[in-house]
Amino acid sequence: MTGAVRVAVIGAAGRMGLAIQDVLSRTSGAVLGAAIVEAGDPLVGKPVSSGQGLYQAGMESASSGADVCIDFSSPSSTLETARICSGRGIPLVIGTTGFGAAEREELLVHALRIPLLLSPNMSLGVHLLAHLVGTAASVLSGYDGEVVEIHHRLKKDAPSGTALYLAEAMARARGVALSEVGTFHREGMTGPRSSGSIGVMAVRGGDVVGDHTVYFLGEGERVELTHRATSRETFARGAVSAALFLAGKPPGVYTMNDVLGLPLQGGEPA
């Protein structure tokens, strides 16, 4: 592809959307192609924060100005974006989380027509952490594995997609399915911890951007692997890198591991 890659940002008025706009304004080889918000949003028709164009309502009219789309919105909105991108051959980067199994299956169908990158977390550090989790899970096969995540009070889904991604990395390394060994809730007289189970717990409060700690607990010792995000720019930079990576790629499902050249650890659940 010649010239700067035009990137449409869906959910442009949200926290991640604003961070992506800022990164785009400072990225060589990429420009903001469209800033898309919900119909009825008071920002429609007003200048975007970076000064590159106006906020627009709806993907239909804005897609003509896009070489790649980045969507950090909601599952229902992202599915609509995927349908439009699939119909028009526009690559799509998805950072939205909280998809159900049927919604995820629909996204995979669209990937037969367009390059689609689906990741619950766009940071380099998290994907390196997943690689380390897989290694630790193999070596410490008899240790109890737990994942604890902390996010700001406004996050709508729990556990986070990143926590599930890390738990999947652990499960895959041990040759089991998270759906069979995952524990997502403890209350009351639960009895002893099930051998081989993987706990995934969520904490909500304050303005925490995202903390994830993976525990391997054995007799007399424990190993803790932690990633802490202190700025959303980390994820925004990753999303823009993913958009530049997808431009010109053939249809298919891609992950941040493809962008960063890391081996797959876990199933990148969203």
Model pLDDT, residue 37: 87
Distance in angstroms (rounded) separating the CA atoms of residues 232 and 163: 17
- 185 domain-assigned: yes
Distance in angstroms (rounded) separating the CA atoms of residues 72 and 138: 33
Query: Is the CA virtual torsion 181, 185, 186, 187 positive or negative?
Result: negative
Are residues 133 and 78 part of one domain?
Answer: no
Are residues 238 and 224 part of one domain?
Answer: no
Are residues 256 and 151 part of one domain?
Answer: no
Are residues 63 and 149 part of one domain?
Answer: no
Distance in angstroms (rounded) separating the CA atoms of residues 184 and 54: 43
- 179 domain-assigned: yes
Distance in angstroms (rounded) separating the CA atoms of residues 42 and 204: 29
Are residues 136 and 12 part of one domain?
Answer: no
Place of tokens 């051998």: 195
Model pLDDT, residue 51: 64
- 162 domain-assigned: yes
Are residues 214 and 163 part of one domain?
Answer: yes
Model pLDDT, residue 209: 92
Are residues 213 and 161 part of one domain?
Answer: yes
Bridge partners of residue 179, in order along the sequence: none
**How many CA atoms lie less than 13 Å away from 208 in the CB half-sphere?**
17
Are residues 144 and 111 part of one domain?
Answer: no
Rounded to two decimals, what is the model's pTM? 0.77
- 265 domain-assigned: no
Distance in angstroms (rounded) separating the CA atoms of residues 96 and 72: 5
Are residues 205 and 157 part of one domain?
Answer: yes
Which among 139, 167, 79, 121 is positioned nearest to 259, based on CA atoms?
121
Which among 242, 226, 223 is positioned nearest to 163, based on CA atoms?
226
CATH number of the domain enclosing 141: 3.30.360.10
* 120 to 60, 165, 270: CA distances (angstroms): 25, 8, 5
Are residues 242 and 215 part of one domain?
Answer: no
CATH number of the domain enclosing 255: 3.40.50.720
The range of the structural domain enclosing residue 86 comes to 5-122+232-260
pLDDT along the chain (270 residues), means of 10: 84 90 92 87 81 77 81 91 94 91 95 93 89 96 97 93 94 96 95 96 96 98 97 92 95 90 54
Model pLDDT, residue 270: 36
For the range 38-45, what are the long-range contacts, defined as Cβ-Cβ under 8 Å and sequence gap of 24 or more? 38/77, 41/13, 43/13
Model pLDDT, residue 62: 64
Are residues 169 and 42 part of one domain?
Answer: no
- 269 domain-assigned: no
- 96 domain-assigned: yes
- 147 domain-assigned: yes
- 203 domain-assigned: yes
Of 110, 127, 131, 151, catalytic: 151
Q: Is 156 a catalytic residue?
A: no
* 99 to 1, 75, 142, 163, 177: CA distances (angstroms): 31, 6, 32, 14, 18
Q: Is 155 a catalytic residue?
A: yes
Which among 116, 211, 198, 197 is positioned nearest to 160, based on CA atoms?
211
Are residues 177 and 116 part of one domain?
Answer: no
Model pLDDT, residue 97: 83
Query: How many structural domains comprise the chain?
Result: 2
